Structure 1
Amino acid sequence: MTEFTVGDRVAWVYAYGSYAEQIVLPAANAVPAPDDIPDDVAASLMMQGITAHHFVTEAADIQPGQTTVVHAAAGGLGQKLTQLIKARGGTVIGIVSGAQKADTARQAGADHIVLSTGAAFVEPVLDLTDGEGVHAVFDGGGETTFHASMSVLRRHGLLLYYGAVLGAAPMVNLRELPRSIKISYPVFRDHIPTREALLRHSADLFDLVRNKNLAPGIGHRYPLDAAAKAHRDIESRATTGKLLLLP
């Protein structure tokens, strides 16, 4: 590959060992970072941005007028999902765990905010949709919210479940799925199976930033030697937005 030369700015995904001042990675994993996109914005977009883009364009294919639920709407991925859904003409009911996160989710574009932990969001969501339910739920909450998320979907609605990192995946009896709903476990690599797809989707994200339809939502920046603290802060669920490590 001769696409890059010494001194080029690049952004990347899936490079083990990225917690470092210098790394070696396959050139096929890197994309050119445009001159008008700052380093921190490019870094914040690659994994979460491509993930959110996959969810709303291919896994769910959100259409104008559709209503969605976004769990952890104040988080880095939640904010990007909200903005991309809004850019496609959808309505967002943002779920947040505390009042201090409500403003962050609202600023990202959420139309409605529901304060909830566990399954407490079910009744408010059904009230907001006149009992009909939503077209799609984006659920990274793990087993604690999985079954409740199914219960707020309308007929043929879609549950995008990506909470496996939070514990064992819930067991599902297909015969017990209500209202002919669908469940997807969207895998990141299925959105960028080729280098051409990686370049195309990352370029789309950069365009969304330029057009003011997507903001990086950076919550905090840490020096590289504070990586352990960054992880503790994530686990505390007290953070909002994308967290960055700076070499």
Structure 2
Amino acid sequence: MSAIVVHAYGGPDVLSFEPLAVRQPGPGEVLVANRAVGVNYIDTYVRSGVYKVPQFPFVPGDEAAGEVEAVGEGVDEFVPGDRVTYTNHLGAYAERTVVPAKSVLKLPGAIGFETAAGSLLKGLTAEYLLHRTFRVEPGHTVLIHAAAGGVGLILTQWAKHLGATVIGTAGSPEKVALVRANGADHAIDYSREDFVARVREITEGRGVDVVYDGVGKATFPASLDALKPLGLFVSFGNASGVIEAFDILLLSRKGSLFVTRPTLGTFTSQRDVLLAQAENLFGVIESGKVRIAVNARYPLKDAAQAHRALESRTTTGATILLP
């Protein structure tokens, strides 16, 4: 088979398209023939060394969808031919991937491979943010940074479906229009406007209940000033760089604020939680309340080009690779 292989941390050029032997699944494992592979910001963190891997060389990628080709000893939940998807397991940038069965999910018939590959990691992230980190309910006001991105578009639609007043930020007039078209009550171009001042104006000085921030360094600590007293700042990504260490007394001075830095793996490590999250996600997609926009497709061999586009902040919605 062919795969993208990384031999050292670096820029997109370290993504090398190479032949690899196909490994058969061992006990508790499933061999998946990938039909569509998701591209996520976390892939760039792993490639560049922001997030470390146990050893080199390695195959990047955290999300794909395809068909079961073989199962290992002790696997009785899946059989060859099953349509499946998986995430939170390195190695997806390949024509075939061996995955622990505990990380694999059956696909509902109404959800295609491209939709699954473009939504699972991002959608499960939105699920834990909206339902398990801060439970969004009618009456809440939420601020979503990078609302035109892959996670952002899902968060925006889903938060609106849950009854929240949604304020989304984006970095261009075109992206702002996209955020509005996906249900945001208010959209702010933070390349041209002071988003804190606009949030204060929109909320009549109260601030928001929660900030969902996948941007990182560029929007911190200003996001704290957009929160109401006792509000929650949720940092779940580092698109502009990692937030540096800060004085914890900032939180008391700005209104006894709460801050958290969750990660998807904490939730999906428990099979029952993963299944509940997936059921919630697949249900809201099948209902049409959340639409998955796969806006860019690249052949697997062009993974470096996909990374350049993602890091340039020019993409919207989901990007996928096609093996």
Q: TM-score, normalised by structure 1?
A: 0.96
Shift in CA distance, 162/154, structure 1 to aligned 2, threshold 3 Å: same
> 2:214 aligns to what?
140
Which has the greater radius of gyration? 2
| Distance in 2 (alpha carbons) for counterparts of 1:158 and 1:14 | 26
Q: TM-score, normalised by structure 2?
A: 0.74
> 1:90 aligns to what?
164
Residue 220 of structure 2 is aligned to residue 155 of structure 1: no
List, as ranges, runs of 4+ consecutive aligned residues in structure 1 with deviation greater than 6 Å.
Answer: none
Superposition RMSD on alpha carbons, in Å? 1.4
Q: How do 1:1-247 residues align onto structure 2 when only pairs under 5 Å count?
A: 1-117=75-191, 120-164=194-238, 166-177=240-251, 178-247=254-323
Post-superposition shift, 1:14? Answer: 1.8
Equivalent pairs counted in the alignment come to: 247
| Distance in 2 (alpha carbons) for counterparts of 1:176 and 1:209 | 39
The amino acid of 1:57's aligned partner reads H
Per-residue Cα deviation, 1:90-131 (whole angstroms, up to 9, x for no partner) = 011110100011121112211111111398211111111111
Task: Give secondary structure in 1 for the equivalent of 2:131.
Answer: helix
| Distance in 2 (alpha carbons) for counterparts of 1:168 and 1:206 | 31
Shift in CA distance, 192/16, structure 1 to aligned 2, threshold 3 Å: closer
The amino acid of 1:217's aligned partner reads A
| Distance in 2 (alpha carbons) for counterparts of 1:215 and 1:67 | 21
| Distance in 1 (alpha carbons) for counterparts of 2:200 and 2:244 | 23
Task: Give secondary structure in 1 for the equivalent of 2:220.
Answer: helix
Whether the 8 Å contact between 1:119 and 1:145 is mirrored in structure 2 is: no
Post-superposition shift, 1:140? Answer: 1.4
> Which residues of structure 1 form unaligned runs of 5+?
none
Whether the 8 Å contact between 1:119 and 1:144 is mirrored in structure 2 is: no
> Which residues of structure 2 form unaligned runs of 5+?
1-74
Post-superposition shift, 1:230? Answer: 0.5
| Distance in 2 (alpha carbons) for counterparts of 1:204 and 1:176 | 36
Work out the percentage of aligned pairs sharing the same amino acid: 37
